[in-house]
Amino acid sequence: MNVAAENERAVIGGNNPPIPEVLAAQYADLISKIEPIAERANALPKKIQSDQDLETVAPVIVDANELSKKLEATRKIEKEPHLSAGREVDAFFNPLVDRLDRIADTFEELSTSYQREKIARERREREAEAARLREAEEKKRAEAEKAKRPDTVERKHDEADELSLQAAQAEEKAAAANKDLGRMQTATGVKVGVRTTWDFRITDYEAIPLEKLRPYLKREHVEQAIRSFVKIQKGSTGLAGVEAFEDVSTNFRR
């Protein structure tokens, strides 16, 4: 039974008070400074309409940013021991997991190479057998055409029909899916199969018709490309459907 999974306190340090309670008490002074800033912010104009308004909001922005930076720095200091502990746990388990993964990955890759060769060979053999049966069928039909006796003609046609059926079955086997050709079960009961996926390799990047890929391009990726383009070209984008403009953002500092 996994006690730690059933009782979250049944771990190292489980008897310590909850971390949020400890942090709230330890940094009560810093936390107490947030509400006054929020109250000052609530009294500020909801829209900046003059330099006087800008002068009114500036101290609140600076104070909020400064307190935010202090809290962020404190967060990093407090989190570091936990990160350190996490890194130590990772350093213990990861090499063990990595070693086993390397073993499995190595032999999965070797098995995949073998399966590719085996499937290709078996498909070639099945196609060759289907072609042989078709050729034998055609030979029987040719013999039927040349035969003089009616009973011989009928027998040759019957033999050709049987070969035609065998050829059709062989062709169906030759057309079997890769996953069917790669399926087996070992003597120890391990089921071996193959996963089939459609993959690709780029042979000529410049020849790719990007317009055909438009439905599959995520908007954020297109925007990322446009942003990089605009950053270089600035106002001279020349991109239909895109308006480039120089934007501004305000910053405050003491």
Is 166 within the bounds of a domain? Answer: no
Q: In the predicted model, what is the mean pLDDT of the chain? A: 88
Res. 14: pLDDT tops 90: no
Could you count the other beta carbons within 10 Å of the beta carbon of residue 33?
15
Is 227 within the bounds of a domain? Answer: no
Is 164 within the bounds of a domain? Answer: no
Q: Residue 2 in 3-state DSSP? A: coil
Is 21 within the bounds of a domain? Answer: yes
Could you count the other beta carbons within 10 Å of the beta carbon of residue 140?
20
Domain count of the chain? 1
What is the predicted pLDDT for the residue at 11? 54
Q: What is the tens place of the pLDDT at every residue in 139-179?
A: 988 988 888 888 888 898 899 899 899 989 888 888 877 87
Q: Residue 215 in 3-state DSSP? A: helix
Cα–Cα dist 185/150, whole Å: 51
Res. 8: pLDDT tops 60: no
Is 25 within the bounds of a domain? Answer: yes
Is 34 within the bounds of a domain? Answer: yes
Could you count the other beta carbons within 10 Å of the beta carbon of residue 178?
15
What is the predicted pLDDT for the residue at 112? 86
Q: Domain limits at 63?
A: 16-42+49-108
Closest CA to 33 of 78, 74, 61, 68: 68
| Structure-block tokens of residue 158 | 């019957």
Q: What is the DSSP letter of 210?
A: H
Is 163 within the bounds of a domain? Answer: no
Is 93 within the bounds of a domain? Answer: yes
